[in-house]
Every structure is written in C-alpha cells, then in structure tokens.
Amino acid sequence: MEYNHRAIEARWQQYWKEAGTYHVEIDKSRPKFYVLDMFPYPSGAGLHVGHPLGYIASDIYARYKRLQGFNVLHPMGYDAYGLPAEQYAIQTGQHPEVTTRDNIARYRQQLDKIGFCFDWQRELRTCDPEYYKWTQWAFIQMFNHYYDTDAAKAMPVSKLVKHLEAHGTDGLHAAATKDLTLTADQWRAMDERQQSDVLMNYRLAYLGNTMVNWCPKLGTVLANDEVSEGVSIRGGYPVEQKLMYQWCLRVSAYAPRLLEGLDRIDWSDSIKETQRNWIGRSEGAEMKFRVAGTDIDLEIFTTRADTVFGVTFMVLAPESMYVDMVTTEDCRNEVSRYIDAIKHKTERERMIDKKVTGVFTGSYAVNPLTGKQIPIWVSDYVLAGYGTGAIMAVPAHDSRDYAFAKKFDLPIIPLIEGADVSEESFDAKSGKMINSASDELDLNGLEVKDAIAATKRFIEQKGIGKVKVNYRLRDAIFSRQRYWGEPFPVYYKDGIPHMLDVDKLPLMLPEVDKYLPTETGEPPLGRAKNWNTPEGYRLELNTMPGFAGSSAYYLRYMDPRNNDALVSKEANSYWRSVDLYVGGSEHATGHLIYSRFWCKFLYDIGEVCEDEPFRKLINQGMIQGRSNFVYRIKDTNTFVSHGLKEQYDVTPIHVDVNMVSNDILDLEAFKAWRPEYADAGFVLEEGKYVCGYAVEKMSKSMFNVVNPDDIVERYGADTLRLYEMFLGPIEQSKPWDTNGIDGVNRFIKKLWGLFYKGDTLLVNDDAPTADNLKSLHKLIKKVTADIEAFSFNTSIAAFMICVNELNQQKCHSRHILEKLIVVLAPFAPHVAEELWHTALGHDTSVVDAAWPGYDEAYLVEKNVTYAVSFNGKARFNIEVPADMQREEVEKTALAHENASKWLDGKTISKIIVVPGKIVNIVLG
RNA sequence: GCUCGAAUGGUGGAAUGGUAGACACGAGGGACUUAAAAUCCCUUGACCAUUGCGGUUGUGCGGGUUCGAGUCCCGCUUCGAGCACCA
C-alpha cells in the first residue's frame, strides 16, 4: 500500500464523525481537562493558513491529555456578531444572519479537513437566541448588583436600597461613578426617577454620560480609529465630541481583583504585564487645596506627595467641574473661549497635538503645607477621566508641568539635591530632598521614598489628605448604535430604564428594512416594526458590543443546550474552568479582561465555582504573509530576475505566491495569470526567474494568502499539521513559507516505510533490540516533556530522528511501532489511525489507546565520554563506564598516558568532575 | 518616555552553566534513470590546511562572575510588542 493522504484522511474523518469519537459527557470516574481555542469570527475570506496554528497546538494537547486518561472537553464555536457582516448588509441588503451562516458553513468545511477533535455537538454561535439569552441574562444580573468595596464583591441592589433607606450613604462603601452624600430622609423623599438616578451611580451595569466621537451624518458613535483629523474615515463627515447617555459596565470596580488574580494564573509574563499596565494601579495621596478667599477645596491626586513644597501652580482639566467654580468674572470670557476650542478637538487630536496651551482662571489656591498662594490654571494636558481631574503642578520634577511652567513663565523650585532644572525637569524618584521644610514638616535630607511616606503620614494626621490607590482602568462602554448585536433586555417607562423579566428572554433581534440609522437619528433597531414591546413601552434601541457574547462562552460550552441556566451547577462543578486556553495576544486588553471581569461577577453571585476563567493561556504568534515580487523594467513588458534588477530601472510588482516555488517563478503560470503578461519577456539568471520577497500581512491584495485547503489537497492534513508546528515556537510570529513542507511530508513517507514496502506489510513480532528500545523510549521521553512545554517543533524533530534510527536499525517490531503510533497520534491523527487499524490490526480507535510511559533503564548509556581539561582547556577524552564514581573518574583521567604531559610537574589545585561531561584539572 | 521580550549559519530554528548550530529547508557533489520527477548516499558556520591527523575563529557590542557563558550579572546597540500628557 502506498501512502495516499486523500483516501486515508477522508476515511478517518468520516469514521470519527459516525462513531462520535470526540463527543464528551461528564464522567466523574475520570479527571476532566478543558482545552479551549478562542473562537473565530467567521469572516467572508475564509481561513488562511495562519488561523489553524493555535487550533493545531490545542488539538495536539487535547489528544495527548485524552491518551493520558483525562476526560477532555474541547469545543468550538463562532463569535458571530461583528461589523463586517453588518457593513456587507448595509451595502447589499443581505441579512447579516445569512452572510454569517454561509461563512460559518465555509469555516466548518475548512476546519473539518484538518482533522480536529472538536466536540461539534457543543457548537455555539453568539448570534443564536438560545445563546444570547444568557448574554442578556448576565446583563440583567449586573444591572441588579452593585459592588461592595468592604466585602470586595458584588451585592444585590436590593441590599443597597435597604441601606439607603436606613442610613442614606452613611457607612456605604460601594464602587460608584461619583461620591454621593445622602441622608436616609433625603433618599426617602426622592421620587422614583431620582431614586433610579441614585442607584445608577452604583449598579454594575449602568447608564452614564460618556464622551464619544459622534458623527451626526452617519448617525453613530465612532471608535477613535474610525476618525481622522476631525472627520469620519468612511465618508469624510465631521465628527464631534459628544456627551452621550449610554450603557456602561463598572469594570473599574473589579480593578484590584483583576490585578490580584493575575498572580494565580499561568499566563505569559508579557500578557500579564500588558494587563497590569492597562489596569494601571498607582499608589498615592489625595490632597485638598483650599481656594483662597472661598470655602472650596480642590481635590487632587498625586503619587509624589513629597514634592508638595515645590507646587507652584494648579491645573484643572477643561471638563473639570471645578473650572466653573473657581473662574473669576475677569477671566470668564477667556476661559470659555479656551474650553470651546478644546471641545472641537477629538481626544485623539488632543493627544497628537503636543502644543502647550492653557489659561489662567483668576483664582489662587493655598498650599496646605506652606500657606503660599499659587495660581489655578486650566489646561488640556490634564485629563478629566483620571484621578480627580485636577493636579498640583511641580514643574521641577514633572516634565509636563515643566513645559507648562516654561511656556507661561511660572516659578520652578528644585526639591532634590543636585538636580539641575535649568533645561529640563528631574523626574526620577530618587535623591535627597531640599527646600522642603515648614514649621510642622521637615523633609530635607530624606530620600524621596521616605519623604513620600512622611508626607502621607503628615497629611493624614492633619486631615488635609488621605492615602489613595488610583486605577487607570475605565468602565467599559457597552452601547453600540448598530444592528448586528445582542439587543438589550431593557425597556423604558417614563424615561426610567427597567429590565425585562428573565422568563421573557431572549429578547429577539427584530427584522429591519435597512441596516442604517433612522431619519431621526435613532439606531437601526428604531426601524423595527411590531417589535414585541412589553406593556407597550419603548425598548432600548442600542445593541451590545462584540465582547458581550465572548465573555462567558467558555461556560456555555459546559452545558450548551441548557434552557434553564447559563450552565448547570453539575456541569460547572465538573468542568470548572478552562485548563488551557489558546489564542492571540491581541485580546490582552479586550476579551481577556472582560472575560475575567464577567467571570468574577458570576462567581460573586454564586453562578460559577471559579473566579478566574482561564488557568493557563498560550498565545500563538501571528502567521505573516511572505510576498513575492517580480521586477518590471519601466515602460516595458520585460521582467528582470531579482539578482539582476540593480542594472535596470524597475518597478516591483506583487505576484501570486502560488505561482512561485522556492522563489523561482513559474513562467507559464505567470503568463497565464493576466492577459497583459501573456507576451511578457524575461531576463533570467542561470535560466531561472528568481523573485524577491518581503514579509507582510497575509492579505488578498498582496497575493500572499496561502489557503489551508490547497495544502491539505496537495500534501494532506497530517503534513499541514506537522509543518505548522515545525515552523518554530508556537508563541512566535513568523512568516508562512511553504518551502520546507517537503521535509515533514518526507517524514510521513519514511514513517509509512516502516510499515509497508509496496504492498508488503513489514510489521513483525520480533522482540525489540536494545537499540530499538532506546530509540523508542528516547522519543517518548522527549515528546512527553515537549508537549507539556508546548515545544512542538522540537518534538517533531524527535520523531524524525526516531524514524530515521528505526529505519537504519531495520526495525519493524510491532512492540516498537505500536507505541510510536500512539505517541504520533496527537500530531498526525489520520496516518496514525490508518496504520493502527490496517498495519497493526486494531479495531478500536487509536484515540482510545493509552499514552506510553518511558523507562529510563533503556536510556542509560553504558559508557560516558569525559573531556579531560587542564585549566579549562580540553586536551583529550576518556571513556569510562557510566556508573563510575567521580573519584574513580579522576583517577582514570590522571592515569591517562597524556595526563603527565599536561601536568608537567605542576601541582593540582582543584579537580572538577561534571557528571557525564568534563573532568577539569586546575593546576596551581 | 515607561514596561516587557528578542538578537545564534544562506533560511526556519535546536542547545537543565558543560563538545554551539539538533531537526528541517536551501545549496553543492554523487548513485539510480534515455531524461525528468521521485528516492537514496556524501558535503555544507567562517577561515586555514587537506596525502592523513587537523588547526584557528565563531551565538548583536563592551565589561564581569566562573575551571567553563549562547545561557548568569552590569552597561550599551538594534529590532519587536504593550502602555503613554495617567500626575
């Protein structure tokens, strides 16, 4: 029998499907293991060769774990809501659901050809009402909970209401949009709408005012990357900053726990670091500066409490509520003009524009430590959204304050010994303090670190400030003015939002005539007719963003058809959380934060038993494209080979990589590619046309897309799987280069050659030799360790070595080959299954075999070579039995005929024996 | 600017502080073949030597620790990633 990948792969894919080989159920007699891939967005372009990289790695791991006796959950589904389908719908009128369904069918076809062990009975689609029912359900739960900072967990809003009724805000420690102070009497005196507004200040899912890029012409909010120079990228319509009332999730409440949880999960340092940066914890102090001649206190946040003696002015963010309070009549016009000018800029423009601008409010603040009066300014370099939106400026030790002071000629007082602040500020947090003393507090001579601590202690004692931890993490804006997303389970009654009853879920996404905003500027859902509005009230017209559906999907896989709960207690307590999660690192500050937040919330309300969703995370690298170029001589139809292009004036042109092999262009295919190239001429090197290449993003326009289907058709899925893994470390980004795929294809053929020569079955029942056993056990040991370490490229190298050795040993022993096949099965399941059945005669699937252990006894070397060195320089080798004791090794080394030559009468000061490697004799 | 990571042949990449370059591609040579493909064998970091043994040098740069450093430490350079008027 010859190796025929097409027949083999079709046969076993069919077999696995019919036998339900990969379907899993809860089995309490076996330990569970949950392997998950980040589910794909089914785009219209289909899969390219980069997409399956992570899926192959996780598939290998899942199969390996199963062979080790684990009950492995390995599901797959689709993140089906998304912008491309909606854009396509706007252009063509095609319902996004239709496009999405077609794309999913195509994805499924492509995935099936690669031979993954997914349990397709658990497939999910986020746009499926059965699924998004639970997305809506979770939203309702968030609406009905607030975050108690004492208990550090979510609590029911009903408890909050009880507290407000009894004590007002007194003793209430809850995450809030802004600090409120209410008495119980005031609360009870409020009408329903006022009370609703108060509760919004605490709910985990809340309606809030947020600055957004609003494009009136398009009738939608745009993301920052959809706006450039004040106009929309699509259409070029003006975009303005607008405060919009929309749904938000109070992710910021969980900032401390999101940070702390990172210490308990096995993720790469880089992605943890990215999340830490994003959460942005900073320890500092909040301090009050009295505005001179008033009873207004400006609250500021600083991490450099020690520099308070160097504060020479204050700065407010233009949006700060203090601005209005402190601006004097004389300055009011100028301040308003400044703020108006700022308003017309997008946040992005404000960031790009590094020009220092600002305006004086006319008021002064009193430095609480020195009693000196300092001017209060307004400038857009202070952000409203961080801290209190007001800062104390210390120009000597903060570069932004320094630039501002220079521009507006404000005083600069150095506070650290030896710091030269004539040209630039001294931002480092080190050195000895100077100029920092008052009657009550003397920091002079202290190290910065100690000065910070001393100042904090002092301001707390004096009641002018308190120690505070600030986080950069913002709440997530949860409304989108889009059609293709989950509808909110929300209706408005007299303008007050209410949640639908849970038993009315799902609230189905309605049909609309067009996927555009309405004429009155409402989101597309405003077009829906006869939408099932409960009791005749108005439904929320926004939809949820993309991350809504992907935040808890991993839980749903545990129990995907449950209509009574997101996941049953039984399924959740068995499968618990994802043991291995594989996906791209680009989700570090999106999906991977939101999922963790969502999970912690569900944990708080007792729905799930683990508070971290993904125990171990592997980030597969991106596969980039490797584009090929031909070089056309200007104004001709002649193309010059890469090595000769310097001699001409040429234009590089992308050519389809599928016409190029090892950078050699297939001239006939090129001529046939485009009519204008039919009569092209070529300047060749040694009879060949050599193309240039470049690493770029894999995309149609670069003609560098390699389709996995083509590889599977030509070489087979097993070759594709092995080659993708052989390309390099899984976490590394690398360009796809089909050159080299022959190597792994040859390996499979050589492996086949151990079993068959032509039609002859070579497998015999001979007892394995010591060499056979050594080759096999070396392989098992290496592959076991490599899979655990996700080092798949080196395990494939180990397979190649093993098969070459067995070939040389002419080993066809069943004993050896059976174990070889089991170990290979996770990597190349089709060929393994074929040989397992036809050559080795089994009638059960190889996936039900047991992962073999290895025996060190077969691996022990009989003899070991030591390099004998003198003063670190290797001089000769000795070969001794492997179990020889180190003193004996020393003696043998010194007894060697060459030793006396190097000793040459010198004394020996030290002898170092490294087991199995080197004897170093250090001469005195 | 801050944080994290990386740098090894023509290429992708291997190396618990212990013979650097596993494995593969590519290249060169050879066998088989009318020929090509396929397959198999040999060579392949560089330099020198080559009738034979071999020798020198070599992991971005400069130092250090060590009997011994691609690996550990300090200081740079370059590239990649994340964050970025975050006080």
Q: Which residues contact A366 (CB under 8 A, 6 or more apart)?
A: A289, A290, A291, A292, A372, A373, A374
Q: Which residue is nearest to nucleotide B4 (CA to C1')?
A: A270
* DSSP secondary structure letters along A237-277: -B-EEEEEEEEEE-GGGGHHHHHHHGGGSB--HHHHHHHHH
* d(CA A686, C1' B29) / Å: 19
Q: Which residues contact A838 (CB under 8 A, 6 or more apart)?
A: A1
Whole-prediction pTM value? 0.91
Q: Is residue A59 over pLDDT 90?
A: yes
| Residue A360, helix vs strand vs coil | strand
**Which range (A100-114, A458-472, A735-749, A906-920) has the least confidence?**
A906-920
* Confidence band of A17 (pLDDT split at 50, 70, 90): very high
Of A481, A490, A561, the residue nearest A527 (C-alpha): A481
CB A262 within 8 Å of CB A272: yes
* d(CA A793, C1' B46) / Å: 28
Q: What is the pLDDT of residues A345-384, one digit of tens each?
A: 655 566 566 678 899 999 999 999 888 999 999 998 888 8
Q: Which residues contact A133 (CB under 8 A, 6 or more apart)?
A: A505, A506
* d(CA A803, C1' B35) / Å: 32
Q: Which nucleotide is nearest to A355 (CA to C1')?
A: B85
* Confidence band of A530 (pLDDT split at 50, 70, 90): confident
* d(CA A429, C1' B62) / Å: 29
Instruction: Tell the residue number behind the tokens 């076993």, with chain if given.
Output: A12
Please, what is the angle between helix A792-808 and helix A814-824, to 10°?
A: 160
Q: Which nucleotide is nearest to A305 (CA to C1')?
A: B87
| Residue A371, helix vs strand vs coil | coil
3-state secondary structure A659-706: HEECCEECHHHHHHHCHHHCCCEEECECCECECEEEEECCCHHHCCCC
Q: Which residue is nearest to nucleotide B17 (CA to C1')?
A: A914
What is the greatest pairwise CA distance in chain A?
Answer: 107
* d(CA A276, C1' B72) / Å: 28
A864 sits in which H/E element: strand A863-870
* d(CA A333, C1' B51) / Å: 100
Q: Which residue is nearest to nucleotide B22 (CA to C1')?
A: A797
With 0-12 / 13-18 / 19 or more C-beta atoms within 10 angstroms meaning exposed / middle / buried, residue A789 is exposed
Provide the pairing of β-strand A227-228 with A231-232.
antiparallel
Q: Which residue is nearest to nucleotide B67 (CA to C1')?
A: A872
Of A458, A291, A459, A284, the residue nearest A388 (C-alpha): A284
* d(CA A110, C1' B55) / Å: 57
pLDDT at A218 (0 to 100): 63
* d(CA A634, C1' B59) / Å: 43
pLDDT at A782 (0 to 100): 94
**Number of Cβ atoms within 10 Å of the Cβ of A862:** 9
* d(CA A695, C1' B16) / Å: 35
CB A613 within 8 Å of CB A578: yes
Of A656, A601, A588, the residue nearest A628 (C-alpha): A656
A743 sits in which H/E element: helix A741-755
Q: Which nucleotide is nearest to A385 (CA to C1')?
A: B86
Q: What is the pLDDT of residues A578-609, one digit of tens each?
A: 999 999 888 888 899 999 999 999 999 999 99
CB A98 within 8 Å of CB A89: no
pLDDT at A767 (0 to 100): 93
* d(CA A66, C1' B39) / Å: 37
* d(CA A499, C1' B62) / Å: 67
Q: Which nucleotide is nearest to A300 (CA to C1')?
A: B87
Q: Which residue is nearest to nucleotide B68 (CA to C1')?
A: A872
pLDDT at A232 (0 to 100): 61
When pLDDT is averaged across residues A282-292 and rounded to a whole number, the result is 91
Tokens found for residue A265: 């999960």
* d(CA A290, C1' B59) / Å: 62
- Adjacency order of strands within the sheet including A476-477: A220-222, A205-215, A240-249, A476-477
Q: Which residue is nearest to nucleotide B13 (CA to C1')?
A: A728
How far out from the chain centre does Cα A579 lie? 16
Q: Is the ipTM of this complex over 0.90?
A: yes
When pLDDT is averaged across residues A536-554 and rounded to a whole number, the result is 91
Q: What is the pLDDT of residues A93-145, one digit of tens each?
A: 899 999 999 999 999 999 999 999 999 999 999 999 999 999 999 999 999 99
Tokens found for residue A187: 């609360």
Phi, psi dihedral angles at A850 (to 5 degrees): -115, 140
Q: Which nucleotide is nearest to A472 (CA to C1')?
A: B86
Q: How far is CA A337 from CA A242, A409, A540, A706, in A?
A: 18, 21, 37, 56
When pLDDT is averaged across residues A134-162 and rounded to a whole number, the result is 97
CB A845 within 8 Å of CB A833: yes
Q: Which residue is nearest to nucleotide B18 (CA to C1')?
A: A917
| Residue A639, helix vs strand vs coil | strand
% residues pLDDT > 90 (chain A): 55
* d(CA A121, C1' B9) / Å: 49
How far out from the chain centre does Cα A10 lie? 35
Most confident range (mean pLDDT) of A190-199, A396-405, A886-895 is A190-199
* d(CA A704, C1' B15) / Å: 34
3-state secondary structure A118-148: CCHHHCCECCCHHHHHHHHHHHHHHHCEEEE
Compute the mean pLDDT over every residue in chain A, rounded to the nearest whole number: 88
CB A774 within 8 Å of CB A722: no
pLDDT at A229 (0 to 100): 55
Q: Compare A545 and A567 and report the one with higher pLDDT.
A: A567
Q: What angle do CA A498, A502, A503 make, to 5 degrees?
A: 130
Q: Which nucleotide is nearest to A747 (CA to C1')?
A: B24
Q: What is the pLDDT of residues A611-624, one digit of tens each?
A: 999 999 999 988 88
Instruction: Tell the residue number behind the tokens 């993490």, with chain if given.
Output: A473
Total length of chain A: 924
Q: What is the pLDDT of residues A720-744, one digit of tens each?
A: 999 999 999 998 888 888 888 999 9
Check residue A166 and report its DSSP letter.
H
Q: Which nucleotide is nearest to A398 (CA to C1')?
A: B87
Of A796, A797, A790, the residue nearest A731 (C-alpha): A790
* d(CA A429, C1' B78) / Å: 28
* d(CA A803, C1' B21) / Å: 22
* d(CA A735, C1' B43) / Å: 29
* DSSP secondary structure letters along A282-336: EEEEEEEEEETTSS-EEEEEES-GGGGGG--EEEE-TT-THHHHH--HHHHHHHH
Q: What is the pLDDT of residues A664-723, one digit of tens each?
A: 888 888 888 889 898 888 888 777 788 877 777 888 888 888 889 999 999 999 999 999
Q: Which nucleotide is nearest to A588 (CA to C1')?
A: B82
Q: Which nucleotide is nearest to A590 (CA to C1')?
A: B82
Check residue A205 and report its DSSP letter.
E
Q: Is residue A898 over pLDDT 70?
A: no
Q: Which nucleotide is nearest to A799 (CA to C1')?
A: B23
Q: What is the pLDDT of residues A849-882, one digit of tens each?
A: 999 999 888 887 666 666 666 665 555 666 666 6
Question: Which nucleotides on chain B have any atom < 7 A from a protein Cβ?
Answer: 3-5, 11-15, 18-19, 22-27, 39-40, 67-68, 80-87
Q: Which nucleotide is nearest to A397 (CA to C1')?
A: B87
pLDDT at A231 (0 to 100): 62
d(CA A658, CA A666): 9
CB A860 within 8 Å of CB A908: no
Q: Which nucleotide is nearest to A389 (CA to C1')?
A: B87
d(CA A653, CA A651): 6
* d(CA A872, C1' B74) / Å: 25
pLDDT at A543 (0 to 100): 94
Q: Which residues contact A311 (CB under 8 A, 6 or more apart)?
A: A367, A374, A392, A393, A394
d(CA A574, CA A73): 11
d(CA A318, CA A340): 9
Residue A242's identity, in one-letter code, is: K
Q: Which nucleotide is nearest to A742 (CA to C1')?
A: B25
Q: Which nucleotide is nearest to A301 (CA to C1')?
A: B87
* d(CA A735, C1' B13) / Å: 13
Q: Is residue A924 over pLDDT 60?
A: no
pLDDT at A222 (0 to 100): 63
Q: Which residues are paired to A297 by β-bridges?
A: A290
* d(CA A187, C1' B20) / Å: 76
pLDDT at A506 (0 to 100): 93
pLDDT at A234 (0 to 100): 58
Q: Which residue is nearest to nucleotide B6 (CA to C1')?
A: A732
**Which range (A313-322, A424-433, A499-508) has the least confidence?**
A424-433
pLDDT at A741 (0 to 100): 92
Q: Which residue is nearest to nucleotide B85 (CA to C1')?
A: A381
Q: Which residues contact A641 (CB under 8 A, 6 or more apart)?
A: A631, A682, A683, A684, A685, A688, A689, A690
Per DSSP (E only), the strands in A507-616 are 538-539, 580-583
Q: Which nucleotide is nearest to A280 (CA to C1')?
A: B86
With 0-12 / 13-18 / 19 or more C-beta atoms within 10 angstroms meaning exposed / middle / buried, residue A409 is exposed
Q: Which nucleotide is nearest to A474 (CA to C1')?
A: B86
